[in-house]
Amino acid sequence: MPEVFRSLVASVILVCLAGYVAAEGDPTRRAERMEPLVLDAAAGFSVTRYEVETGVYYRWRIESDGLEEYKLLAPGLFRESWIDQVVIEDKEIKPFGLHAVEFDNEGDIDIWFIPQRPGEYEFYIEGLETQGFRGVFVVR
């Protein structure tokens, strides 16, 4: 077998293996599904504390009952996380950053993210913090 052909075959094998290793090491291949956060006008948040880890890929589903308009803010968490995508009605948004999500009607929003920095980060509904709409993410 000519030397050029052997080099070409070896190069192709290395490129294929590198792609396989990169795919296996891709943290966005499988998200950890968090307990959904339900926004309930009568009860407030269904979950007020999440514990997550840096470097882990999460899917956070937020579900609104539609009885109020809700503006959910999590500025610290979003600032200290890599936001992969936001999915609304099967439409994907690839944001550069995120400050808040807002519900005008009943529905759900999925936020796919990787926390980057440990700490405690509040999430809340603007104007309804004292009515059960305040929680915290503890990032380890």
Same domain, 71 and 11: no
- pLDDT tens by residue, the chain, 140 residues: 565 444 433 343 333 333 434 445 677 778 999 999 999 999 999 999 999 999 999 999 999 999 999 999 999 999 999 999 999 998 999 999 899 999 999 999 999 999 999 999 999 999 999 999 999 999 99
Residues 63 and 119 in one domain: yes
List C-alpha distances in Å: 90 to 108, 109, 110: 10, 9, 9
Written as one string, the DSSP assignment of 52-113 is E-TT--EEEEEEE-SSS-EEEE-HHHHHTEEEEEEEETTEEE--S---EEEESSSEEEEEEE
Instruction: Please name the residues in contact with 41: beta carbons below 8 A apart, sequence gap of 6 or more.
Output: 65, 67, 68
Same domain as 110, residue 96 = yes
Residues 19 and 63 in one domain: no
| Residue numbers of the domain that contains 130 | 31-139
Number of domains forming the structure of the chain: 2
The model carries a pTM of: 0.79
